Amino acid sequence: MKVPQAGAVAAVIVIALTTSACGGEEKAQGTISIGIKFDQPGIGLRETGGTFSGFDVDVATYVAGELGYAPDRIEFKQVYSNDRELLLQYNEVEFVAASYSINDKRKEKVDFAGPYFLAHQDLLVRADDSSIAKAEDLNTKRLCSVTGSTSAENVKKTLAPKASVLELPGYSECLVALQDKLVDAMTTDNSILAGYAARKGNEGRFRLVGLNLSDERYGIGVEKGDKELQGKINAALQKMVADGAWETAVKKNFGPGYAYEPAPKIAATG
């Protein structure tokens, strides 16, 4: 946590004794900063007018509520796939809920609460393109993914090492490249791809190939070593599943046609 300025020390002490919310500077200001994606329909999207929608937004809002923060005290900050660890390491956000797949490499730099969702890597192609039916077909194709994503790494190392991979900052840029035929497919989690395919204006223009190329367990990233916050978030996630709010959020954001996996078991803090 950031150290409060000297002039605010007394206020910080008073607030620390009267609130159950977590955070150092956030306590003094009465807000909590949370990292989410801004460009993923169904997951994390900044809507016109500045409101936010998506499954990760609903999860983050629920967790923040359990930590003592009302929705109007949440400050959402945009994160990209390649800077999520940095925002946590430099205390720019309290936690990150941004389609953040848990893996050993990332656990070297941050700790994870969860997992709270299980997705699978898939491919999105133009609706009139039938030339891609399996991962190996990408070896002669142009593929787009996001810099720093596990999906891009999985393709390059395992699925199609000869594929031409274009890495861009965000999935919205990949969708434009796919639409303009600069690439033949884009890859990430099926939950994200389904959100793009179903978004208004995209209906009938794209399709998911329907491959389960990996298991992606979404976790909430916290600063490395912050076991207290990790434990509180795990407890909040368990409550969200138990009271039905998790399933409600899944159905609201992904629609009735999305074949989602049951809520995964929340890992023990440690």
Q: CB of 24 within 8 A of CB of 9? A: no
Question: What is the dotted CATH code of the domain comprising 6-118+218-254?
Answer: 3.40.190.10
Cβ neighbours, 10 Å, residue 36: 27
What gap in Å lies between CA 179 and CA 192, rounded to an integer? 16
* pLDDT score for 197: 86
Query: Splitting the chain (270 residues) into consecutive groups of 10 residues, what average pLDDT does each group show?
Result: 44 36 47 95 93 97 97 96 94 96 94 97 96 96 89 90 93 95 96 86 90 94 97 98 96 80 81
Among candidate residues 85, 104, 103, 105, the one with its CA nearest the CA of residue 95: 85
Tokens 């150092």 -> residue: 24
Query: What one-letter code names the amino acid at 140?
Result: T
Helix (H) or strand (E) holding 86: helix 84-89
Q: Which two tokens stand for residue 52?
A: 């936010």
Query: Where do the domains of the chain lie?
Result: 6-118+218-254, 120-215
What is the DSSP secondary-structure string of 156-221? IIII-TTSEEEEES-HHHHHHHHHTTSSSEEEEEHHHHHHHHHSTT-TTTEEE------EEEEEEE
* pLDDT score for 268: 67
**Which of helix, strand or coil describes residue 10?**
helix
* CB-side neighbour CA atoms (13 Å) of 264: 17
Q: Tell me, yes or no, if the two domains 6-118+218-254 and 120-215 fold the same way.
A: yes
What gap in Å lies between CA 116 and CA 65, rounded to an integer? 17
* pLDDT score for 175: 96
Domain 120-215 grouped into CATH 3.40.190.10: yes
